[in-house]
Structure 1
Amino acid sequence: MKENTISEPVDFTTSDLKLKGFKVYEAGNDCHAIPTYNRRDFYKICINTGQNIIQYADRGIETDGTILFFGNPHIPYSWEITSESYHGFACVFTEEFLKVNDRSESLHECPLFKISGTPIFYLSAEQKTFITSLFQKMIVEQDTDYVFKDDLIRNYINLIIHESMKMQPSENFFKHKNASARITSLFLELLERQFPIETKDQPLVLKNPQDYAQNLAVHVNHLNRSVKEITGKSTTAHITERIISEAKALLQHTDWSIADIGYSLGFEYPSYFNNYFKRLTGTVPKSLRM
């Protein structure tokens, strides 16, 4: 049995897109590798035929057949392909690409992208043919010179969303078997929801295990024990690794000053951020600037 783990894309910015805030691509054994993205700024819709194990927040599902999946940048997930053969299409897009004006409904309110929603749907042969045709149309359209192609592609995405909302979601989720696994999943989800940092004016709010424990309504000792039991790493280690990862992304992909980056990550003074970064990476933040 072949096992492939799909991680979230790396070194991907909006400037890489053929349309601002949007990209569609084909994936499979005979296609180019699935692009990976460093920052989770993007919503994702994909259709896939094969066998997979998808871990989504505190739930998981084993699939066999053709599924339609909706990925939310605020909810961590992993995807493992377990079949020898697989094929599909996917598109990634920002909320700004889909929202044409301030009155448009936020994707956060869409049932397909809500934290409590069900993001996986099994497709019939007829549904597979129809949804696949929409992805194929988007692939063709993103390379044309048609002046209104962004509007047309938005219509295709919205059509997929509305067709999916009429379907019955998959109910084959399996739940974590113990309280430690569940609280750990909720912690990791809450941690991921703090990122990416979008503005340098609002510092990171949740910075230590106590902050997360309060938000999850559990005692910090219970949180620490659960996270260590399930992941083998401490709560502090997870938080630290995520802050450092975000610091590197901001240093490499923004023109913010180092002081602003430190402030956005919860460091009141630049010297605190410099010392923290150097202690954990062995180098100073300035070294990541080109």
Structure 2
Amino acid sequence: MPELPEVEALAGSLRRRLVDRSVVAAVDVAAINVLKTFDPPPTALAGLPVTGVTRHGKWLDVDCDGLHLVVHLARAGWLRWSEQLPTTPVRPGKSPLALRVRFEDLDDGGEDGPAVGPEPRPGFDLTEQGTQKRLAVHVVRDPAQVPAIASLGPDPLEDSFDVEALQALLAGSRQQVKGLLREQSVLAGVGNAYSDEVLHAARISPFAVSGKLDDDQVSRLFASLKGVLGEAVAAAAGKPASQLKDAKRAGMRVHGRTGEACPVCGDVVREVSFADRSLQYCATCQTGGQPLADRRTSKFLR
């Protein structure tokens, strides 16, 4: 699943290409189930200039002169940019294509809006692999009209997010810290992969109780949030969308590296599996050398 660094990179790429330079030529829907709103319709975006691109947690927001195309890529969704999109009509079917947005230069639109014709145009496809269709597209006048955006917690990379703010989020919580970091209403933008990375860098067990972390652990967790996410954003910046997934995998120290050596201490990276996901950690770095038990067979170790 794309998380804060990848969505920030996608937003930056679209911002450079489109803002104050392009007009929406057309929006073609291939999978009606991805649309979570109906008023305004996607066709209302046609003819509007792109005036901004930003990120809300893991949500991508393309501002078209006050009308927002807001996208959540979910687990298996992705954005694919092309300088020349196919000219063939978009048709519903078994293809992973869900939505296609075409653009043209702002100066080419004329007073009557963008020209219409069969010539190839730049733009992006939203695609989704697999059978669990969770890609979500909203067309709204205000991003806060999307309930999941309105309920987002603070962004960990905002300047206003400090160690005191993190302490306030953790205080009194009985939730395991791994789950708390992934809770978007608590902290925006962190998912399964980067929560593993942050906790490894902070040397904290994923199953430590959030409200029981001491001051030193909270300080380490805060520094790791800023450091791990900041480094990932910097590493992803400027990369084309086609390279972001591989760049994310290459930057992981423990997530997705079960059985490999921990780059810090050399111990083996271990895994705990769940029904629909898994987590990775280093016992030496994070749990005092004690392996965590799989929840399917025994109790968690703190």
> TM-score if structure 1 supplies the norm length?
0.27
Task: Mark the structure with the bigger radius of gyration.
Answer: 2
Structure with the higher fraction of residues in helix conformation: 1
> TM-score if structure 2 supplies the norm length?
0.27
